Amino acid sequence: MKTVMIKMHEIWLETLMAGFMSSGEKKEQLFDFANIFFRHFTWLENELIETEESYNYDRDMINIQVDKLSELLHRIIKNLNALDLQLASSPDRDLAHRISSDIHYISGVMMRMEDEKIEAFNKALKYPGVTLSDEATRAFTRFLFEESYKEYELILIYNYLKAHSDDTYLIRIFQIMIDESQFHLKSFGNMMAKMGILSVPRIVMKELYQVEDVVQFLKDGIQEELAAKEECRALSEAVGKDSAELAAFFDFINFQENYHISLMKDALEYYTKKETNV
């Protein structure tokens, strides 16, 4: 079942990337399907936890550089079909039937999707409707690469913490952080595709999500969120001369980080009291 979970992890990422590089109605369809695959991933993870099987989030490298959307969709469908066969080994037959049913429907929809030429890898470094200075372009590009990885990393970290917690208070906070990082990753991925620099986030080291000292992790996380706020502020300032719309978006992300910090402080206080009372 570890292999099945790994493959679902890869399919989630492939489908998310397909959403970034596509357009029109199928773009939102692909994002919806990616969300379904992420839920499958978490359900398969829970099955491993229940059977007390050790696991991590390692995966194979994913190549998404294609000229046409159909090339990536056909690869996803092939991977889905292979995963469907592997589900026969799942001890949870209800889960296996659910995932298999989703696979059959989604594969059918993907096969009927209209093809399109992909421009997400052309390295144009041009944002539609905006003329950015060289300085703003460099700052924007660096931010997108760094922050898209950070958001992917946070999704995995908070998902792992949530999966291994039985505390409803902490689970609520972890879920909020997962949802927020999903939104940020979606936003930054779409921007990377428009700039012609779309790429798959690198693999996250297990030491980052298999957290032994949650208190220290939260303390470090608060400092990272403060640094992210500064990055957003600096980027808003850098692009503000060329695009009020982009500047406003990064101010929007900046202000969202305030609530993330508040949640992490709440979790830190709660977790510290919990440890003290043990």
Please state the three-class secondary structure of 102-135 as a single string: HHHHHHHHHHHCCCCECCCCCCCCCCCCCCCCHH
What's the total number of domains in the chain? 2
The confidence score (pLDDT) of residue 278 equals 57
- Domain termination site, one of 103, 118, 133: 118
Q: Residues 233-246: what's their mean pLDDT?
A: 89
- Domain termination site, one of 118, 140, 167: 118
pTM flag (> 0.85): yes
| d(C-alpha 217, C-alpha 203), whole Å | 19
Whole-number percent of the chain with pLDDT over 70: 99
- Domain termination site, one of 88, 118, 148: 118
- Residues 123, 247, single domain; the answer is yes
pLDDT, tens digit (0-9, with 9 covering 90-100), for 93-121: 999 999 999 999 999 999 999 999 999 99
- Residues 224, 260, single domain; the answer is yes
- Residues 91, 228, single domain; the answer is no
Nearest CA to 27 out of 189, 250, 202 is that of 189
CATH of the domain at 85: 1.20.1260.10
